Amino acid sequence: MYPLYQTINSRITGFIILAAVTLALPLDPDRISLNGFVSFEAEQQIDAIGLGDPNFSLDADLLDLIFNFQIGENMRTVCDISWKHGHESSKNYGALDLEYVFIEHTFFDEIKLRIGKILTPFGNFNEILQAKPAYYSVDVPLSAEIVKQFAPTSFLFFPKSGMGISIQGETVFQYTKSLEYHFFVANGLQDSSTNPYEMDGNISKSIAAQLRFSVTDNIKVGKSIYIDNPVHPIHRLIFSDGYEFEFNNGKFRLLSELTIGNLYKDKDITENSQVTQAGAYIQPSFSFESGLTPYFRFDILDPDIKLDDNYSFVTTLGIHYELSNWYMVKSEVDYFHFGKKSQVPQLSDAGYTTFKAALVLGF
Amino acid sequence: MRTLATFLCILSGLYGLSSGNSYKSAESSYVVIVNVDNQITAISQKDLALIFLGKKTLWENETRIVPVMMREKQRPMRNFVEVVLNKSISQYRAYWKRRLFSGGGTIPKTFKTHKSLIDYVSNKPGAIGIIPKKSAPEGVKVIKIAKS
């Protein structure tokens, strides 16, 4: 059997087992819900040289399905499955991924325990990384989801998800003031040689923690940290520190985030034993009654703050149009620029422009 | 120092922009209904907001709370979202999309007709529903909204 089919089959089998176990409970349609979305994306790099798509591409970008199973009064299972980029007829069927799956037990609304594959609680975008209906832009900021192509030596501030246990909750102490917390212990950064799932050596452990405070109904501030001792021949410790800010009065919205990541390497093996990288973005937007939201974003990533002119930044100008609650069109122009000593030599002190658009249908 | 002062000025300006939108009292174009087996007779506006924002999920007897409402396009529902939840309709939708896709819970069920909503609440012990006041519900309990 082809490896691709094996991969897909094993994942589908896993899901069917999960679904079957849950469905074995007395069937009550109120206890099961299915939501999701499908998105189609177009991209055209306007300049001759760049890292975008020089040929106009139209892609079935993403199909995302979220299943909520209410097992008991205070226990539920949530599962998010996505299928990405089914683009090449009869050859490549795209990737089927289990984004997250966990069991949640609610002791109180202030204390919820989750066990499973859980999205790392860090910053504003990671928990909605796939979810195009949940944000305005076609893609999330570069500084929130690092694309290796732009900075090959960069490291992940944090992995997208991990297998572990989390405690989270929210307390509201005035009508408009609330404090959310999320504390997550997981298996940390793994690679395929060290984590063939059932034979995980349990050496690497990571801790992620996030606090979000709603100062008023319109202002929210947040702080996240991620600490990991990855299983890696040289990397010994990752410590990332994030700050987020949001102002939203229903029309004008300002979203901003700063993340600083420190990678500590083995001193006996490498001279440059500590690398500090930083990423930040600021995104103002204005929502009209008609459902039209123009937005702007300035997004910068510096893969090593000790070195000069090695940054890359993206300026984005776009429009998000919500035709109805679950039907939206996005269109944006992105200008990517690279510093003189950037890690993309062909774009040293230069940039390129791309046009992107997406059609998103949710349910 | 100058940068910090500028930042603080911007922050206080944003705080000023937001402060006029904090707590409003409930209007009476809608009523709150629960299943007849539910013991409660009144609910605070704050608890009502927490329930419909997915932040309060259990009744005191640990039964799961199931919030339901009419479609938010209807004026009384719009009024409920703006006054009790203190959000615009687009903010409310964006809030729930974020919560849904991050695994934080499911969006309150919505109904097209008053009758179907009332039928649902009358058959679901943990349900709490919002309907226009003129609907004159039968088979369910109407509870009061307390401001505190």
The ipTM (two decimal places) reads 0.86
* Residue A292: strand pairing partners: A321
Of A281, A188, A200, A193, the closest CA to residue A238 belongs to: A188
CB pair distance less than 8 Å for A80 and B50: no
Measured between CA atoms, the residue of chain A closest to residue B86 is A217
Region label for A10, one of left (φ > 0), alpha (ψ between -120 and 50) or beta (otherwise): alpha
Residue A320, SS3 per DSSP: strand
The two beta strands, B127-132 and A274-286, are: unpaired
For chain B, the 3-state helix, strand and coil shares in percent, each to the nearest 5, are: 40, 20, 40
B94 contacts in A (CB within 8 Å)? 134
Residue % of chain B over a pLDDT of 90: 55
Please give, rounded to a whole number of angstroms, the shortest distance from the CA of B145 to a CA of chain A.
Answer: 15
Distances (CA, A) of A362 to A62, A133, A268, B100: 11, 7, 52, 12
Q: What's the number of CA atoms in the CB half-sphere (13 Å) around residue A90? A: 0
Of A337, A306, A282, the closest CA to residue A141 belongs to: A282
CA distance B131 to B114: 7
Amino acid identity of A57? S
pLDDT of residue A268: 75
A248 contacts in B (CB within 8 Å)? 91
Strands in chain B per DSSP E: 30-34, 42-44, 66-70, 109-111, 127-132, 141-146
CB pair distance less than 8 Å for A68 and B106: yes
A118 contacts in B (CB within 8 Å)? 103
A83 in Cβ contact with A127 (< 8 Å): no
Greater confidence (A191 vs B135) lies with B135
Distances (CA, A) of A232 to A95, B40, B102: 26, 57, 29
Distances (CA, A) of A13 to A20, A55, A68, A79: 10, 37, 18, 14
pLDDT of residue A59: 82
Q: What angle do CA A358, A147, A326 make, to 5 degrees?
A: 25
CA distance A189 to A228: 7
CB pair distance less than 8 Å for B18 and A247: yes
Pick A216's closest partner by Cβ from B18, B50, B55.
B18
The token pair that represents A293 in the structure block: 């939201």
What kind and span of H or E run contains A12?
helix A3-23
Q: What is the pTM of this model?
A: 0.85
For helices B89-101 and B75-83, the axis angle rounded to 10 degrees is 70
B116 contacts in A (CB within 8 Å)? none
Q: Does B102 touch chain A (CB under 8 A)?
A: yes
CB pair distance less than 8 Å for B22 and A176: yes
Measured between CA atoms, the residue of chain A closest to residue B123 is A30
The two beta strands, B127-132 and B66-70, are: parallel
pLDDT digits (tens, 9 = 90+) for B62-76: 899 999 999 877 888
CB pair distance less than 8 Å for B46 and A133: no
Measured from the Cβ of residue A49, the count of other Cβ atoms closer than 10 Å reads: 12
CB pair distance less than 8 Å for B64 and A287: no
Please give, rounded to a whole number of angstroms, the shortest distance from the CA of A73 to a CA of chain B.
Answer: 5
Measured between CA atoms, the residue of chain A closest to residue B73 is A325
CA distance A126 to A37: 18
Q: Does B103 touch chain A (CB under 8 A)?
A: yes
pLDDT of residue B134: 81
Torsion sign, CA atoms A194, A195, A198, A200: positive
Mutate which of B44, B91, B102, B116 to test chain A, going by most A C-beta atoms within 10 A? B102
CB pair distance less than 8 Å for A175 and B101: no
Q: Does B61 touch chain A (CB under 8 A)?
A: no
CA distance A326 to A328: 7
Residue B135, SS3 per DSSP: helix
pLDDT digits (tens, 9 = 90+) for B15-70: 444 444 444 444 468 899 999 999 999 999 999 999 999 999 999 988 999 999 99
pLDDT of residue A267: 77
CA distance A228 to A58: 38
Please give, rounded to a whole number of angstroms, the shortest distance from the CA of B128 to a CA of chain A.
Answer: 14
Q: Does A250 touch chain B (CB under 8 A)?
A: yes
Residues contacting A306, CB < 8 A, separation 6+? A275, A276
* pLDDT tens across the length of chain A (363 residues): 344 444 555 555 555 555 555 555 556 778 899 999 999 999 999 988 888 888 888 888 889 999 999 998 999 999 999 988 755 556 666 788 899 999 999 999 999 999 999 999 999 999 998 898 999 999 999 878 777 778 888 888 998 999 999 999 999 887 778 999 999 999 877 665 655 555 666 667 899 999 999 998 889 999 999 999 887 778 889 999 999 999 998 899 999 999 999 999 887 777 778 899 999 999 999 999 899 999 999 999 999 999 999 999 999 999 999 998 899 999 999 999 999 988 888 888 899 999 999 999 999
pLDDT of residue B126: 94
CB pair distance less than 8 Å for B90 and A73: no
Measured between CA atoms, the residue of chain A closest to residue B44 is A175
CA distance B13 to A218: 12
Distances (CA, A) of A209 to A35, A123, A126, A167, A236: 28, 10, 13, 10, 20
pLDDT at residue B1 greater than cutoff 70: no
pLDDT of residue B110: 92
CB pair distance less than 8 Å for B101 and A291: no
Which A-chain residues 6-25 have CB contacts (< 8 A) with chain B? Answer: none
Please give, rounded to a whole number of angstroms, the shortest distance from the CA of A290 to a CA of chain B.
Answer: 10
Output Rg (C-alpha) for chain A, integer angstroms: 21
B148 contacts in A (CB within 8 Å)? none
CA distance A149 to A348: 14
Residue A321, SS3 per DSSP: strand
Measured between CA atoms, the residue of chain B closest to residue A124 is B98
Cα A237 to the chain's mean position, in Å?
21
Amino acid identity of A12? I
Strands in A218-350 per DSSP E: 219-228, 235-248, 252-265, 274-286, 292-302, 312-324, 327-338
Please give, rounded to a whole number of angstroms, the shortest distance from the CA of B56 to a CA of chain A.
Answer: 6
Residues contacting A337, CB < 8 A, separation 6+? A312, A313, A314, A315, A350, A351
The token pair that represents A300 in the structure block: 């910068």
Q: What is the DSSP letter of B64?
A: B
